A and B are shown apart, each in its own frame.
Chain A
């Protein structure tokens, strides 16, 4: 999974015409750690059809807030410079993330 940071978010995500998945996580976020292996597994299945990326918000708080991320974990899909779908906290189950991915491949 491609690690994003505050400097490349614009070029890697917002400039992309293709759909991209972003896994927003943070230091000390235990539910994020629990979700991560499931996201990696989904990448194995769908990674050839959808780009998987991750952003550690602990080093990019201002960027996260700009993207209206104020709680973790969030798994979102960006396309054409916009967040077109997202699953927040308890809604971000492995099953729900897979359903969301299927709509963008």
Chain B
């Protein structure tokens, strides 16, 4: 007979790692599955300014990777088992839930879905073709390729503006392309951007097509007020530029479609993080909620794990 865990957590971002921490401390037998790298989106974020108590290191700068490394260590400290695998199928009905990876079928009395979100693409022609050839969604991965070149950042929220500031370390000039005439980012980030001499703005603009021969060297930009389109080309000596896209996220919820209730592909839960299926919970960015931040992901994870413990003890599930 295969082992039946008390709890399987899918996804090791802030929500999953916090759920693991709480479940581990409650001595639930817990397996945490992650397909890539712990932290997901936040692991590739250069700087985290708004996680309470999270500023550390020189200059009070906390990187996403450093914050996540501490969360991972804390989770491991409380005895949570880990598996590096891609979940390809789930069977969530019934008392024992089954989670399929390529090599194994794992069983548990409860499942917390914390699979997070991925960057939303612009969705324009040429975008896919130039991924890794000028188009990027990861400043910490690809910024250094654009040393002394020009970079365009698409988006106007916190992430877009923070990453634009980070990219000025490399680029000769960073231009923020935003569809409105003011940034959505919070005031402290906006101030830093306006003060930065390398940052320029292209207001009321959206990118409608990307061009190039092998590498990205041009784009079509549309004025959202007049509807006029114009071509922006790389400096002739450069022959290329970077377009970094930060226009929000899409939930990683494909696997659970039809299985749990969703709205706009986000999983719907009650305040205790329960989905419509007994024994199945959701936490973090995957969940329908008003604010998606590290701190709210951690909060979701804690609530979900404590609810699992409560529901198991009460005999409601398992």
Query: Which residues does A use to contact B, with CB under 8 Å?
Result: 26-34, 37, 57-58, 61, 64-65, 68-74, 88-90, 93, 95
The CA of A93 and the CA of B65, in the complex, are separated in Å by: 21
* Chain B residues closer than 8 Å to A26, beta-carbon distance: 141, 144
Given A29-B141, A68-B215, A70-B242: A34 and B131 interface contact (C-beta under 8 Å)? no
A to B CB contacts below 8 Å, 21 in the list: A28-B140, A29-B140, A30-B44, A30-B140, A31-B141, A34-B36, A34-B37, A37-B84, A58-B144, A61-B144, A65-B240, A68-B214, A70-B215, A70-B240, A70-B242, A71-B132, A71-B135, A71-B138, A71-B142, A72-B132, A73-B141
Whole-angstrom distance between the Cβ of B214 and the nearest chain A Cβ: 6
Q: How many A-B residue pairs have CB under 8 A?
A: 74
* Chain B residues closer than 8 Å to A72, beta-carbon distance: 132, 141-142
* Chain B residues closer than 8 Å to A74, beta-carbon distance: 132
Query: Which residues does B use to contact A, with CB under 8 Å?
Result: 36-37, 39, 43-44, 65, 84, 86, 102, 131-136, 138, 140-142, 144-145, 147, 214-216, 240, 242
* Chain B residues closer than 8 Å to A57, beta-carbon distance: 144-145
Contact status B37-A31, CB under 8 Å: yes
* Chain A residues closer than 8 Å to B37, beta-carbon distance: 30-31, 33-34
Given A30-B43, A89-B132, A95-B102: A71 and B145 interface contact (C-beta under 8 Å)? yes
The CA of A65 and the CA of B58, in the complex, are separated in Å by: 32
* Chain A residues closer than 8 Å to B138, beta-carbon distance: 29, 31, 71
- Residue from B86, B141, B145, B242 within 8 A of A30 (CB atoms): B141
Contact status A30-B65, CB under 8 Å: yes
